[in-house]
Structure 1
Amino acid sequence: MSVLVVFDIDGTLTDTVSLHRKAFHEVLVSFGLPGLSPEVKEYKHHTDSNIFKEIYTSFRADWTEEISKKFEKELALNIKDKFQNGISEISGAKFFLERLRSEGIPFAYATGSFYEPAFLKLKDCGLPLDVPLATASSFYERESIVQSAIEESSKKYSKQFSKTICFGDGIWDSKTAKNLGLEFIGITEDPNLLSEWKDQNILHVFRDYSDEFLILSAVSSFYP
């Protein structure tokens, strides 16, 4: 059976959720817009491109894709500046990706972040950069981002996948997997999210990647 593993980035592989939100808020304000709402679930799609467009078009009528590209560049610069204080991987993430590679299990990244900030985070944490990376720079919806990661992986690894397993740290990640009919493994310590996932009968949830054998067993449990 041919299996692909698709990882979200912020909060799933890199400990950068708060950093990203702070930077996003600051750049919104620098554009003369209201800041990021503390309740991100209110946005239609939990992606950088959609959230920025929703906020921008609610207050201005001159939207263009060039404005989005300018915002992405400013966001990347702001995030990179915050790297001076150091950023960390989610514990064990790098080793786990290396373990997947050693086991011959292909993987990819699919993130609601714009491309440049996502690439910077992966690079700064020393995570592999030679695998497909699908981002919100190309799509507004998470489903399209994940589908793109799968399609690019088929080209990269020269195979079709009979099973795709998504790793994520947010309710939007599990919903995306469900909408696409894909398997899901959660990475979180949030008690509210743990409870919500339990109610949804999501069986495999881990705090981090400290026990790679247990997580590999979870991945293997989706094999026939």
Structure 2
Amino acid sequence: MSVLVVFDIDGTLTDTVTLHRKSFHEVLISFGLPGLSPEVKEYKHHTDSNIFKEIYTSFRDDWTEEISKKFEEELARNIKEKFQNRISEISGARVFLEKLRSEGIPFAYATGSFYGPAFLKLKDCDLPLDAPLATASSFYERESIVQFAIEESNKKYSKQFSKTICFGDGIWDSKTARNLGLDFIGITEDHELLSKWKEQKIQHVFRDYSDYLSVLSAVLSFYPGKRI
């Protein structure tokens, strides 16, 4: 059996959910638009590209992809200039990715963030930059982002994967995995989300990667007969 692990980034590998939302809000205001709604579930797809397009087209009728590209550039600049010193990993993330590699388990990134900010966060947290990276710069829907990460992994690792395990920190991550028929491991400290995942019978949820051997054991539980 060949297994691929696909990671969300914000809140899953990097502790950047709050700073990303704050920066996104600031750039929206600089574009003369209302800020980001605190209820992100109001948006059809939880991705930077879709949320920006939804807000923009609700107030203006001159939408183009070039406008989205400009927003992405400004968002990356804003994060770099105002928030870069606050970018940090979810505890143990780097060591865990290193452990996956030492076990020969391939992985990729699939994020609802635009490419520029996502790459900046990975780089600042010293996380591997050579793994496939699928972002909202290319797709509006999270399902398409994850599917692209898998396709790029097929090419990079020269194999077709019989199982894909998604790591995420939001209800949209587990929903995406379910929609695609993929396995899921949660990373969260949120008690409300923990309750929802328990109701959905999601078996593996961790606060972070501090106990990386337990997280690795959860990954290996998807391999018949393989344990650490």
Q: State the secondary structure of the residue aligned to 1:139.
A: coil
Q: Is 1:92 matched with 2:92?
A: yes
Name 1:41's counterpart in structure 2. Answer: 41
Letter in 2 for 1:200: Q
Distance 1:136 1:8 in 2: 12
**Cα offsets for 1:94-149 (capped at 9, x unmatched):** 00000000100000000000000000000001000001000000000000000000
Query: Which residue of 2 is the match for residue 11 of structure 1?
Result: 11
1:208 corresponds in structure 2 to 208
Q: Tell me how far 1:84 sits from its aligned partner.
A: 4.5
Is the contact made by 1:19 and 1:82 (CA closer than 8 Å) also made in structure 2? no
2:110 paired with 1:115: no
1:223 aligns with 2:223: yes
**1:53 maps to 2:45:** no
Deviation at 1:86, TM superposition (A): 2.9
The amino acid across from 1:114 in the alignment is: F
2:105 match: 105
Q: Secondary structure at the match of 1:186?
A: strand
Distance in structure 2 (CA, Å) of the matches to 1:196 and 1:84: 32
Q: CA 1:84–1:218 in 2, change beyond 3 Å: closer, same or farther? A: closer
Separation of aligned partners in 1, 2:216 and 2:10: 21
What residue ranges of structure 2 are gaps of 5+ in the alignment?
A: none
Question: What residue identity is the alignment partner of 1:108?
Answer: A
Aligned-residue offset at 1:81? 1.4
Instruction: Report the counterpart of residue 124 of structure 1 in structure 2.
Output: 124
Between Structure 1 and Structure 2, how many residues are aligned? 224
Distance apart, 1:85 and its partner CA? 3.1
> In 2, distance between residues paired with 1:138 and 1:84?
24
User: How far, CA to CA, are the matches of 2:85 and 2:72 in structure 1?
Assistant: 21
Residues of 2 paired with 1:222 and 1:30: CA distance? Answer: 46
Q: In the alignment, what sits opposite 2:169?
A: 169
TM-score (norm. length: structure 2):
0.97
Contact 1:109 1:149 in 2 (8 A): yes
Give the C-alpha shift of residue 45 in structure 1: 0.2
Cα distance in 2 for partners of 1:169, 1:79 equals 21
RMSD: 0.7
How far the C-alpha of 1:82 sits from its partner, in A, is: 2.6
Give a deviation string over 1:154-201, Cα, whole Å, max 9, x none.
000000000000000000000000000000000000000000100110
Structure 2 Cα separation of the partners of residues 149 and 87 of structure 1? 24
1:160 aligns with 2:182: no
- 1:57 alignment partner AA: T
> What SS does the aligned partner of 1:5 have?
strand
Contact kept in structure 2, 1:5 and 1:108, CA below 8 Å: yes
Which AA in structure 1 matches 2:179?
Answer: N
CA deviation after TM superposition for structure 1 residue 204, in Å: 0.3
Name the SS for the 1:46 alignment partner: coil
Identity of aligned residues (%): 87
CA offset at residue 212 of structure 1?
Answer: 1.1
- The question of whether the paired residues in 2 share the 8 Å contact of 1:111 and 1:135 is answered with yes
Q: CA deviation at 1:221?
A: 1.3
Q: Residues of 2 paired with 1:100 and 1:133: CA distance? A: 17
Q: Residue in 1 aligned with 2:184?
A: 184
Distance 1:47 1:4 in 2: 22
Work out the CA distance in 2 between the residues paired with 1:54 and 1:34: 11
